[in-house]
A and B are shown apart, each in its own frame.
Chain A
Amino acid sequence: MDLTGASRIVVIGGGQAGAQALQSLRQGGYAGALTLVGDEPALPYQRPPLSKAYMKGEMTEERLYFRPAPWYQDQNIEVILSTPAKRVDRANRTVELAHGGHLDYDALIIATGSRPRVLPTKGATLHGVHDLRDLSDVERIRPNMIAGRKMVIVGAGYIGLEAAAVARQMGLDVTVLEMAPRVLARVTSPVMSDFFETEHRAQGVQILTGARLDHLDGDGDKVTAAILADGARIDADIVLVGIGILPNEELARDAGIACNDGILVDRDARTSDPRVFAAGDCASRPLVHYGRSGRLESVHNAIEQGKLAAAAILGKPRPVEDCPWFWSDQYDLKLQIAGLNQDYDEIVVRGDPKDRKFAAFYLRNGTLIAVDAINSPPEFLASKKLIMSGAKLAPDVLGDTSISMKDIAAAALAA
């Protein structure tokens, strides 16, 4: 559908994807009415620092904002905060707002993000038990970030491990509980899991893998301990829960838009309704370098889909769909990930994990599909190109640190 005549565009959700869509629409020359409606009280802000520098108190709230308040005025963008969208009425092309009123649209971008999975155990609602998703979560957590306090983190994913690193650096006594036999089990290989476990233990974090949480114990309404299935009791002043996220797809699904673990979109971020787009954590998109669809929980994905939606609405050529990429900062370690490592059949480690500078390459049928690079930008950056090219790589060459990554990439791309 040609939407180049659109004069009313509504963006629901002020996260990375929504903010990007606003910017790309204006940058792309769209001069019509543009409205952002978001359920949080703050202007659109970056989430990654919430479990890093901002949690540590090294960054002001203002620096989290993608754009300062005057930018929205200058760009003539109407910003409606603290207001969830209640319903999308596709027949009348209007979004009903929770506090009354509605916004009519010619094109709609749903960027509602995701929400943390709720701990399914007793005690999950006690005071002192927190998610780590929104600015408001961190505001509640930070007063407890005091040396000597006991923090229990449920779930050893990236959020949990990043928070563990920050808390340790601030002198808290930190225990991480993970149900799986290793940390980061859902997202990476055993070699990386081992590396991060070793690192966190060396920093003084207690990591319990294969640990089944039975419930959280409280004194009155205040959390005091995590009780494991085997009866072990771990004292806690504060509990962080990081056990994954769920896409906020209900608004779309209730409007009859196709969803399946995320709002289904095509390569232009367009949903089953040609006037409605979805971008970011809430969307399930074609992963063009992998021949399948899926949801990606990342900054890069949110930015890219925000750009794709804007380009499609404005009738501009589709921006390049980059190789998916991610990063995580823990202590002085920078993990940079390119690609998706599901279904790898071979793993090549380049460098020695003991040096805290190495990379794990994931191959399938001799083709590079992903890399986890620790303090190794060349491995990360070269892999992005190699993954997109589909180049074949010899494992012994990839693992040979006497050959530079530049040379390896040049040879593989020329072949």
Chain B
Amino acid sequence: MTKIIYVDNNGTERVVEATNGESVMEAAVKNSIPGIDADCGGACACATCHVYVDASFMDKVGEQQEMEKSMLDFAENVQENSRLSCQITISDALDGLKVTTPESQH
């Protein structure tokens, strides 16, 4: 199990024990994390699973694919560390990953 920490827009932290191979979005949905709706179920089609990745993990979460980049270009409140959580696959390297959900998704 890999520990993922979800922080909501009020700063409340929720810690989830996630399974390697699933996405940061899937682990959130299974654990009822507020602010990650993931309407399309992870098809990179809806941009409702937008998160901010903690700076210390930016080099570990993998590169953005063209489709994700392009979706994020149009999401609300995008920052340097914005990602779609359905496109981040959980592995041992992400143990302790902290992601924050944007206010617009609450």
Minimum-distance CB pairs A-B, first 10: A381-B74, A327-B45, A377-B70, A377-B71, A46-B41, A68-B30, A303-B39, A378-B74, A336-B45, A378-B70
Complex: A23 Cα to B36 Cα, angstroms: 13
B79 smallest CB distance to A (angstroms): 17
Contacts of B39-57 to chain A: CB distance below 8 A: 39-41, 43-47
Cross-chain contact A71 with B30 (CB below 8 angstroms): yes
Contacts A67-B29, A375-B67 given; indicate if A48 touches B73 (C-beta within 8 A): no
Chain B residues whose C-beta falls within 8 Å of the C-beta of A300 in the assembled complex: 39, 46
Check B43 against A48 for contact (C-beta < 8 Å): yes
Chain A contacts for B43, CB-based, 8 A: 48, 52, 327, 329, 334
Interface residue? A318 (CB, 8 A): no
* Cα–Cα distance between A336 and B74 once the two chains are bound (Å): 14
Instruction: List chain B residues, Cβ under 8 A from A52.
Output: 43
Query: Given contacts A63-B22, A67-B29, A299-B40, are A378 and B73 in contact (CB under 8 A)?
Result: yes
Residues of A with C-beta under 8 A to B73: 377-378, 406
Q: Which residue of B lies closest to A46 (CB)?
A: B41
Contact between A49 and B45, CB atoms less than 8 A apart:
no
Give A54-68 as 1s and 0s: 1 = Cβ < 8 Å from B's Cβ atoms: 000000000100111
**A381 touching B30 by the CB < 8 A rule?**
no
* Residue in B47, B67, B74 with the greatest tally of chain A CB atoms within 10 Å: B74
**B-side interface residues toward A, CB under 8 Å?**
22, 26, 29-30, 32, 34, 39-41, 43-47, 67, 70-71, 73-75
Q: Tell me, rounded to whole Å, the shortest Cβ–Cβ distance linking A152 to chain B.
A: 27
Complex: chain A residue closest to B23, CB-CB: A63
Chain A 299-314: CB-based contact to B (< 8 A → 1; otherwise 0): 1100100000000000
- Judging by beta carbons under 8 Å apart, are A406 and B74 in contact? yes
Flag if A381 contacts B39 (CB, 8 Å).
no
21 A–B pairs (Cβ distance < 8 Å), ordered by A = A66-B29, A67-B30, A68-B30, A299-B40, A299-B41, A300-B39, A300-B46, A327-B45, A334-B44, A336-B45, A375-B67, A377-B67, A377-B70, A377-B74, A378-B70, A378-B73, A381-B47, A381-B74, A382-B74, A406-B73, A406-B74
Q: How far is the CA of A361 from the CA of B64 in the complex (A)?
A: 27
Q: Which residues of B contact A382 (CB under 8 A)?
A: 74
| Interface residue ranges of A54-106 to B (CB < 8 Å) | 63, 66-68, 71
Q: Is the CB of B71 within 8 A of A381?
A: yes
The answer on a CB contact under 8 Å between B26 and A63 is: yes
- The answer on a CB contact under 8 Å between A334 and B74 is no
CB-defined contacts of B70 to chain A, threshold 8 Å: 376-378
A369 to chain B, nearest CB (A): 20
- A residues 23-66 near B (Cβ < 8 Å) are 23, 27, 46, 48-49, 52, 63, 66
> For the complex, what is the distance from the CA of A38 to the CA of B44, rounded to whole Å?
29
